[in-house]
Structure formats: C-alpha cells, structure tokens
Amino acid sequence: MTDPLVEPVRDALRVVIDPELGENIVDLGFVYDIAVADGAVRITMTATTPGCPATSFLKEGAQTAASTVPGVVSVDVRMTFEPAWTPDLIVPAVRTSLGFAAVN
Amino acid sequence: MIGGSISRWTMTYFAAALTWLLAVLTLMIVGIGHPATDLAAPDTLVLVHVVCIGWLSLAMCGALFQFVPVLVARPLFSERWALPALALLTAGLVSLLAGFMALGGRLPSAPWLLPLGAVLLVTGFSLVVVDLGLTAWQRPTGPARFVLVGLASLCATVVFGTVFAFALAGWAGRIGEVVLARGIPLHAIAGLGGWLTLTAMGVSYRLLAMFMLAPDVEDRQSRLTLVAGALAVAMIVGGGAAAIGFGAGLNTVLAIAALLGLVCATLYGRDLASIFRTRKRHHLELNMRMALLSFASLAGTGLLGVALVSTATLPMHVGALAFLAVFGWLSGLVLAKLYKIVAFLTWLETYGPVMGRAPTPRVQDLVAERRATKWFATYYVSVWMGTLALLAKEPDAFRMAAVAMTVGVVGIVHEIVRIRRLEDVASPLRLPAGAVAPHLLFAKT
C-alpha cells in the first residue's frame, strides 16, 4: 500500500518549477519516484541537462519543498540521468500548453 | 557533475564587452578606422582590435567560463583566474590601442606600448586558454571539441599578433619584418574564423539543443563540420607560415582555406537545420529567432565571398565582407545569446536559492520580448544596410547605418540592464522572501 505521505509530498513539489519551461517538476515528469518509510522521504528525480547550474537548484528546491510537509522526518533527493528525461514524460495537458511537438 | 555553479564574473565580462562594442560604434560614426580603408592603417587597427578583442573575445570568454562546464558536465578548472584574466586583457588592449594611436600620430611616439600590450594580452589569454582548455579536455566530446580547436586557433592568433607587435616596435629582427609584411591575413583569419567562429559554432550546438529541447547533433555528424573548420585553420596557420618561410605566394593557401571554410559553413548549416527540425519546442523565443538572422548573415557572408572571388573584386570589398562576418554573423549571434544568457543566469542567481520555499517566475518573465524585438530588428537591418553602403563605397550612408546600429545596440543594452534589475518581473513574484536582487555587474553567489 502506498504511504499516505506520498501524495502530499508530490503536491508540495509542485512549487518547484523548471525555470526554462516554467512548469512544475511534477507535471514535467522530472520526479521519477517518491518513496516513504517511517517519515523518511526518498525522491528520485532528473533534469533536462546534467551540467546545467539549474540542476542543483532543482535538487535543493525539491528537498526544501518536501521538508515542509507535516509528518516528514527527513528528505533524501537523488538526482539521476538514467533514464534520460524526454518531453514524452510531460503530462499531456501541460505538453499541449507548452506548444510541444507531438511525441511519438 | 550534478549541476554546475554560476560563474561569478561572466556578467563582468559581458559588461566590459558591451562597453567596447559601444566604443566601436562610436569610432565608426565619427569615421575613425572606416572598415573599407587599408587594413594596416593604424586607425583601422584600433577599430579591428577593439571589436575583436574588446567586444567579441571578452563576450566569448565570459560565456565560455559559464558554458564550458555545462558542455562537459565538469566544474571549471579555476574560477579564480577569470577576474585577473579580464584585468590583463583590458590593460593589454588599452596598451595595444595606445600603441596603434602612437603609430598613427594621434599620441606621442612610444614604441614600447605595442610589445607591452602584446605581453599583457598573451598573459591574459594564457590564463583563459589554460583554464578553459583543462576544463574542456576532461570530456572532449561534441561541442567541447569545437572549443578546444577554437582555443588552439586563439593561441595561433595571439602568436602572430605578438610577432607583429614586436616587429612594429622594431624589436623582432628581419624575420619579424617578413612575418609582419605578409602575415596579417593569417592572423585575421585564425582569429575570426578559428577562435571566434568555431567556438561560437560549438557553443551554439549545445545552447540551441538545450533551449529548444532538441536531441544533440550526433558526434559523428558534427565532427565532419569541425574537421573542415580545423583543416581550414590548419591550412591558414601551418600552410601560411610555411609559404611565408619559403617566400612562396599565399594565394593557393588562401584559396584552399576558403574552400574548406565554405564546406565547414555549409555542414554547420546542415547541423543547424537538423537541430531546428528535431526540436520538441515549436515556439521560438526571441533569442532563437534573432540567432536565425545571424545564421542568415553567415550564409550571406559565404555567398558574398564567392561572388567577390568569382568577379575578382575581393581585394576591393574585403572590408564589406569582414563587416558582415563580424557584425551580422558573430556580433548578431553574441547579442542574441547574451539576451538569453543574462536572463537565465539572473534567474538562477535570484530565484534558484528560494526554489521550494516560494513561487518563482519563469525565465521568460524576466524579459519583454516584444519591446526587445524592435531593437534587434533595427540592429540587423542597419548591419545589412551598412554592408551594402560599404559595397557601394558610400561612406555617408555607412555612417548612417552605424548610427542606426548604435540605436539598436543601446536599446538591447537597456533591455539587458532591465533584465538584471528584474524590472519586467510582475511585483508579487519579483522578490519573494529570502531572494536577493542581483548586482548589475557580477554574480553574488
């Protein structure tokens, strides 16, 4: 059964946006996994480009946002670039609003 | 590396570069160093070195300190070298310009100014080359290879320039005199073609793919483009130096290098087309639309070059060709990308630290594209009119074009200052609790 903290954490992460695309990291599909055990949250997420200075701010932003959720004891954010992010991970409504090409 | 840092001095380089660009425009308006006059005339040397070192090289160095770490996903070898390098380059350029003005009789004779300027510039560029070279060398793939070849070309350009500076002071002996008499085209092409153009191409591959969410151009494909460009530079530097050494003519070397340069530009056009074709973001931001005008200017430079060679009028119009390459292609691309880079870095500096704590604006909320469009349009149209005025040998029309270019550049600089001051960000999001407004001239982080 999914831990009841997962959805509040996911909602809290929506305050973190990708500065370039201007949408939140959850709807952009940057958040690969949220795992919770006894209040300890482990977020696995990605970004568009590994060396970009925005990447570390995204990681710290996710850490901060998740920490604000009541009941969260600790947050560990792990950045990964495997699998690499692609625009087909964006939720369809946001993809349309961003004017993206159709993703096959 | 998960996430690079913000280069503290990139904005300082940009500010210095834009100041020199305004100086160049002023010189052209008052008619000092008219691009169509003799390339070796002291006033022309002042103009050319202000534009190539002060404007383009400083802007390029500032951008590279930020973007080479992004290209290779590794930290910069030494952030601490960037500011001393800028101070040395500025002092070297001022000394060099004073030396040229003394040559032209605008200042009292002081032959030591040129060698002093050369030594300061060599030291400054050495810091840049070692810092960026060691960074790029850690992962020399795709665009980073372009930067490495660009840095090698910069070294060749600086070596030629140093020999010239010592020869003009009468300190380089007979060999120096011979190199000075025949080597100026090699110095100019290694600088404009090798250092500035190949580096701009390399950075553009990554920036365009990143901002338009296009897949990176395959290494195998971009390598062909780079090989053509690198061979052109090698032919100019190696072949040209050998021709001078053996007392042979330079025409064959120049013809082969020009052909290779055209192949490089054509392959680059093919690479750009594939980036634009495969992009996921359909809407093009202003910086990208304006970059397209600079790519068109590069294509125009190639076509104009072919036309001038085939009509045997190149020597008469080399100033117009160089003007279009410098202001249409290189300066246009740098201005378009500055507009984006300043907004992006300003966003990171101001809003990065408060992410997750408060709602933040988008990068696009820092800019006013509609207002900026007219300044860019003014700039490009006046560059193209200026090129036509030079071809038609109409100095008054050229000065009018230079005035219009200045209006465009002042407008763009004003937009960049507004970005830095967050003046176009709506007030509820402008400075969330904990955010600190950026300094105009350097990054606080």
B69 touches chain A (CB under 8 A): yes
Stretch A7-22: mean pLDDT, rounded? 94
Would residue B434 be called left, alpha or beta, if left means φ above 0 and alpha means ψ between -120 and 50 degrees? left
Tell me the chain A residues in contact with residue B72 when contact means C-beta distances shorter than 8 Å.
51
Q: Give the number of other Cβ atoms within 10 Å of residue B87's Cβ.
A: 12
A57 touches chain B (CB under 8 A): yes
Residue B144: closest CA among B185, B199, B106: B199
**Is pLDDT of A102 > 70?**
no
B174 within 8 A of B120, measured Cβ to Cβ = no
Q: Residue B258 corresponds to which amino acid?
A: A
Residue A34 in domain:
yes
pLDDT, tens digit, 9 for 90 and up, residues B124-173: 999 999 999 999 999 998 899 999 999 999 999 999 999 999 999 999 99
Residue A104 in domain:
no
Would residue B358 be called left, alpha or beta, if left means φ above 0 and alpha means ψ between -120 and 50 degrees? beta
A77 within 8 A of A94, measured Cβ to Cβ = no
Q: Residue B28 pairs with which residues in a beta bridge?
A: none
On the CB side of B363, CA atoms within 13 Å amount to 20
Which pLDDT does position A97 carry in this prediction? Answer: 81
In terms of C-beta density within 10 A (0-12 exposed, 13-18 middle, 19 or more buried), how is residue B392 classed?
exposed
Residue A73 in domain:
yes
Stretch A19-47: mean pLDDT, rounded? 95
A87 touches chain B (CB under 8 A): yes
Would residue A49 be called left, alpha or beta, if left means φ above 0 and alpha means ψ between -120 and 50 degrees? beta
B204 within 8 A of B165, measured Cβ to Cβ = no
Which pLDDT does position A103 carry in this prediction? Answer: 44
Whole-angstrom Cα distance, residue B71 to residue B65? 11
B290 within 8 A of B376, measured Cβ to Cβ = yes
- Comparing CB atoms, the residue among A20, A64, A101 nearest residue B282 is A101
Whole-angstrom Cα distance, residue A19 to residue B356? 12
Residue A55 in domain:
yes
Q: Residue B194 corresponds to which amino acid?
A: G
Whether A53 and B70 lie within 8 Å, measured CB to CB = yes
The count of domains in chain A is 1
The token duo for B54 is 């002060």
A35 within 8 A of A41, measured Cβ to Cβ = yes
pLDDT above 70: percentage of residues in chain B = 98
Q: How confident is the model at residue A104 (pLDDT cuts 50, 70, 90)?
A: very low
Residue A79 in domain:
yes
- Comparing CB atoms, the residue among B72, B280, B348 nearest residue A54 is B348
Residue A40 in domain:
yes
Whole-angstrom Cα distance, residue B205 to residue B216? 7
B3 within 8 A of A52, measured Cβ to Cβ = yes
Whether A56 and B4 lie within 8 Å, measured CB to CB = yes
Q: Give the number of other Cβ atoms within 10 Å of residue B398's Cβ.
A: 27
CA distance B341 to chain A (A): 11
- Comparing CB atoms, the residue among A17, A56, A87 nearest residue B360 is A17
Tell me the chain A residues in contact with residue B282 when contact means C-beta distances shorter than 8 Å.
99-101
Whole-angstrom Cα distance, residue B329 to residue B376? 13
Residue A11 in domain:
yes
The phi and psi torsions of B422 (rounded to 5 degrees) equal 60, 30
* The model's pTM: 0.95
The residue assigned the tokens 């830095």 is: B420
For residue B145, the SS3 value is: helix
A19 touches chain B (CB under 8 A): yes
Which pLDDT does position B38 carry in this prediction? Answer: 75
CATH number of residue A29's parent domain: 3.30.300.130
Q: Which residues of chain B have pLDDT under 70?
A: 1-3, 35-37, 445
A92 touches chain B (CB under 8 A): no
Tell me the chain A residues in contact with residue B359 when contact means C-beta distances shorter than 8 Å.
15
CA distance to A34, B73, B355, per residue, from B150 (Å):
44, 19, 37
**Is pLDDT of A101 > 80?**
no
Instruction: Residue A34: give the domain boundaries.
Output: 5-98
Mutation target to probe the A interface, by most A beta carbons within 10 A, among B207, B213, B429 is: B213
Tell me the chain A residues in contact with residue B1 when contact means C-beta distances shorter than 8 Å.
50-51
A56 touches chain B (CB under 8 A): yes
Its ipTM equals: 0.90
* Closest-approach residue (CA) in chain B for A55: B3
Mutual orientation of helices B58-72 and B10-30 as an angle, nearest 10°? 150
For residue A77, the SS3 value is: strand
Tell me the chain A residues in contact with residue B281 when contact means C-beta distances shorter than 8 Å.
98-101
Residue A47 in domain:
yes
